[in-house]
Amino acid sequence: MEAKTLFDKIWDRHVVENIEGGPDILYIDRHYIHEVTSPQAFTGLENRKVPLLHPEKTVATADHNIPTKGQHLPIQEVLSRQQVKTLTENCEKHGVDLYGLNHPYNGIVHVIGTELGLSQPGMTIVCGDSHTSTHGAFGTIAFGIGTSEVEMVFASQCVLQPKPRKMRITIDGELQKGVTSKDIILYVISQISASGATGYFVEFAGEAIRNLSMEARMTICNMSIEMGARGGMIAPDEVTFDYLRNREFSPKGKDWEKAVEQWKQLKTDEEAVFDKELTFSANDIQPMITYGTNPGMGIAVQGKIPALNSVPKQNQASFQKSLQYMNFKPDTSLVGHRVDYVFLGSCTNGRIEDLRAFASLVKGKKKASTVTAWIVPGSQQVAKQAKAEGLDQILEEAGFELREPGCSACLAMNDDKIPEGKYAVSTSNRNFEGRQGPGARTLLASPLTAAAAAIAGKITNPVDFL
Amino acid sequence: MSLPKFNILESSCVPLPVENVDTDQIIPARFLKATSREGFGENLFRDWRYNKDQSPNKEFVLNSPVYRGSILVAGKNFGSGSSREHAAWALFDYGFRAVVSSFFADIFKNNALNNGLLPVQVSEAFLEKILNAVQADPDVQVRVDLPQQQIILLPTNEWESFEISSYKKSCLLNGFDDIDFLLSKKEKIKAYELKSELLYGT
């Protein structure tokens, strides 16, 4: 039999038809939607007078627009309230399960899909959201789509997709103390650039990846879009099965055993060939932070911003534009630079392990008085678990407050906006100009690096606190 | 339903020689609260286009009195980041019909094609040639010829071919839409579902 990659095995199984000279018709097993990218797709469907083909394969949540304080009250901002209301009405009308505001399962779409066991190995998963790549951590083909494609899935349970090329990124060896999966992915993107994997679907492999928990794996796959990849994936193993066992929507009893047998087949054959292979050593990775306005502009916290003459000539104008926005200088260190805001949360780092890591570092210390910190759990279930473990107490004693779940300051569609010119160390995924509010300056980092910044009030190597 | 048709476009260009233009710049998240597809052009490149006091930023190319046209010429890795189709809607609503760059982000490319906005990928060298020509003379005309899959710098007749799948090309030339196409495949999809249930129980 022909040797195949994990990606090929799942993709080929889902091709309904290969269009001559065009894309594949790809069948979708799971479709997630949220309030921002779905309304026009529902309207389109209604204009065509076509029903939603499989409402049971779509799951909805409200996350992008919702406040992270006072969720029991009506949403104050009119347009946000309207968008969330439209989602509720559309889901009712078309028979889609909705975990809306105040539902015990509400939360960021990429946090709830995984914690509820809705994302399972071997599936094809899409959502009108680029961070759908998160679900690839379970050995799925998961990718973000546009609203026209959301409408395609509503109408036909399929999308038209050209088959991407395949890349494998192997991380060998063991991580050093204080280095997390967020640092791995920021390091990889800094090495290959924000467009280094465009056109590819990436499988992550190697000892350092195998040793990660499911939540840490999700962080890596989540940010594969930030190097341009169509998606990222990791072959399922015992860690995956342990995570999924007894989740709300995981198979149960005999079905579970049958499913695990099938899932165990989901790995890249030894002889399979990738279009591109990259290997990195875990030992080379240190706690990372970004200094610029795309996620590829990252350095070790202890390192220096590149000197202008070390940047390729054709990139120098963009590099300088970035530094001007950030008000940083080439060839300087960020250590000791003032930090105004700290954001812990998002689909990248808003899970229970992220809250635990943050709490473990700040425990018994005090937040710097000059820092405003927003600690936003990724879902209601994460919030509940954090309280059950007493993390809210630890945070409170250190001067932090646990807010209510949502996308929050990651994209600042709600009130959680970083003010103009302020520096935010953020555990989210994008440091684009204005991403966290007009004029906001974002430095992406791990929960540990964010916690160290919150305590010190400046950029600090988290290893010094461990 | 139909897609806006695209055949041959001849226009002057708007140069935006910036790399990694992400969709947050094309349309910032705070303008994504609408529930219809219309009107996003008003906020296209909002934070580059307007000063803090909301007056037009005279330095930004969309406010320039000299650069006009329905072809945007941008630096490499255009449309990276968020999957928001609102970016393609905003460009189209503003009046652009083609975007020329040396490299496009995957999701943006799909979104553009699904809205009749043609992404034209050219070599770095040809991109530089167009940008130089446009900056020297803002009235320079460029022809994007979809049937021939060519982009031509008209004053000098320098040209390059560009790639597009024959399926998407036919959609744009005829104004066909992916959803109608998928709906016509209903029986195939049904057959796939039955087979898949037998094989995998899903």
pLDDT tens, position by position, A403-434: 999 999 999 999 999 999 999 999 999 999 99
Does residue A1 form part of some domain?
no
Interface of B with A in 54-113 (CB under 8 A): 75-77, 80-86, 88, 103, 105-107, 110-111
Contact between A318 and B75 using a beta-carbon 8 Å cutoff: yes
ipTM of the complex: 0.96
| Closest-CA residue to A7 (of A274, A264, A189, A228) | A274
Does residue A465 form part of some domain?
no
Kindly state whether residues A46 and A155 are assigned to the same domain. Answer: yes
Contact B90, B124 (CB under 8 A): no
The three-state secondary structure class of A118 is: coil
| Closest-CA residue to A223 (of A30, A426, A14, A380) | A426
Boundary of a domain, candidates A120, A140, A161: A161
If you count residue pairs, one on A and one on B, with CB atoms under 8 Å apart, how many are there?
Answer: 189
Does residue A169 form part of some domain?
yes
pTM: 0.97
Q: Alpha-carbon distance A434 to A397, whole Å?
A: 32
Does residue A226 form part of some domain?
yes
Residues of chain B with pLDDT under 70: 1, 200-202
Distance, CA of A198 to chain centre: 17
Distance from the B52 Cα atom to the nearest Cα atom in chain A, whole angstroms: 9
Contacts of B185 in chain A (CB under 8 A): 16-17, 25, 156, 158
Kindly state whether residues A70 and A103 are assigned to the same domain. Answer: yes
pLDDT tens, position by position, A304-351: 999 999 999 988 999 999 999 999 999 999 999 999 999 999 999 999
Contacts of A149 in chain B (CB under 8 A): 110, 114, 178
Q: Which domain holds residue A108?
A: 6-161
Among chain A residues, CA nearest to B182: A156
Kindly state whether residues A59 and A72 are assigned to the same domain. Answer: yes
Q: Alpha-carbon distance B117 to B170, whole Å?
A: 14
The three-state secondary structure class of B65 is: coil
Interface of A with B in 182-221 (CB under 8 A): 194-195, 198-199
Kindly state whether residues A16 and A137 are assigned to the same domain. Answer: yes
Q: Residue B88: which H helix or E strand, with range? A: helix B86-94
Contacts of A435 in chain B (CB under 8 A): 24, 29
The pLDDT score that the predictor gives to residue B201 is 63
The three-state secondary structure class of A218 is: helix
Boundary of a domain, candidates A137, A161, A185: A161
Check CB contact of A312 with chain B, cutoff 8 Å. no
Q: What is the mean pLDDT of residues A271-292?
A: 98
Kindly state whether residues A278 and A200 are assigned to the same domain. Answer: yes
Share of chain A above pLDDT 70, in %: 100
- Number of domains making up chain A: 3
Distance from the B89 Cα atom to the nearest Cα atom in chain A, whole angstroms: 10
Q: Maximum Cα–Cα distance for chain A, whole Å? A: 64
Kindly state whether residues A189 and A53 are assigned to the same domain. Answer: no
pLDDT tens, position by position, A24-46: 999 999 999 999 999 999 999 99
The HSE-up count of residue A269 (CA atoms within 13 Å, CB side) is 11
pLDDT at position A115 over 90? yes
Q: Alpha-carbon distance B72 to B108, whole Å?
A: 14
Domain CATH code at residue A89 = 3.30.499.10
CA torsion sign for A9, A194, A295, B79 is negative
Helices and strands, counts by H and E, chain A: 16, 18
Check CB contact of A231 with chain B, cutoff 8 Å. no
* Alpha carbon distances (Å) from A210 to A119, A137, A238, A320, A344: 19, 11, 10, 38, 25
Does residue A295 form part of some domain?
yes
Q: What is the mean pLDDT of residues A175-198?
A: 97
Kindly state whether residues A273 and A297 are assigned to the same domain. Answer: no
Q: What is the mean pLDDT of residues A71-93?
A: 96
Check CB contact of B147 with chain A, cutoff 8 Å. no
The pLDDT score that the predictor gives to residue A296 is 97
Does residue A466 form part of some domain?
no
Q: Alpha-carbon distance B85 to B72, whole Å?
A: 17
Interface of A with B in 398-457 (CB under 8 A): 411-413, 420, 430, 432-435, 438-439
Check CB contact of B19 with chain A, cutoff 8 Å. yes
Boundary of a domain, candidates A102, A126, A161: A161
Kindly state whether residues A41 and A152 are assigned to the same domain. Answer: yes
Contact between A23 and B22 using a beta-carbon 8 Å cutoff: no
Query: Which among A27, A82, A318 has CB closest to B192?
Result: A27
Among chain A residues, CA nearest to B80: A228
Does residue A386 form part of some domain?
yes
For an interface test with A, give the residue of B46, B182, B189, B198 to mutate (most A CBs within 10 A): B182
Contact A165, B130 (CB under 8 A): no
The pLDDT score that the predictor gives to residue B199 is 72
Phi then psi for A128, rounded to 5 degrees? Answer: -75, 65
Kindly state whether residues A342 and A411 are assigned to the same domain. Answer: yes
Query: Which among A86, A130, A314 has CB closest to B35?
Result: A86
Strands of chain B, DSSP E: 8-11, 13-16, 71-74, 98-101, 118-121, 142-145, 150-153, 158-161
The pLDDT score that the predictor gives to residue B88 is 98
The pLDDT score that the predictor gives to residue B202 is 54
DSSP structure string for A269-314 = -TT---SEEEEEEGGG---EEE-SSSTT-EEETTSBPPPGGGS-GG
Check CB contact of A65 with chain B, cutoff 8 Å. yes
Q: Which residues are registered as beta bridge partners of A372?
A: A341
Does residue A333 form part of some domain?
yes
Contact A359, A393 (CB under 8 A): no
pLDDT tens, position by position, A126-151: 999 999 999 999 999 999 999 999 99
The pLDDT score that the predictor gives to residue A20 is 85
Kindly state whether residues A299 and A202 are assigned to the same domain. Answer: no
Q: Alpha-carbon distance A342 to A40, whole Å?
A: 34
Domain CATH code at residue A211 = 3.40.1060.10
The pLDDT score that the predictor gives to residue B1 is 64
Distance from the B154 Cα atom to the nearest Cα atom in chain A, whole angstroms: 26
Kindly state whether residues A191 and A130 are assigned to the same domain. Answer: no
Kindly state whether residues A64 and A110 are assigned to the same domain. Answer: yes
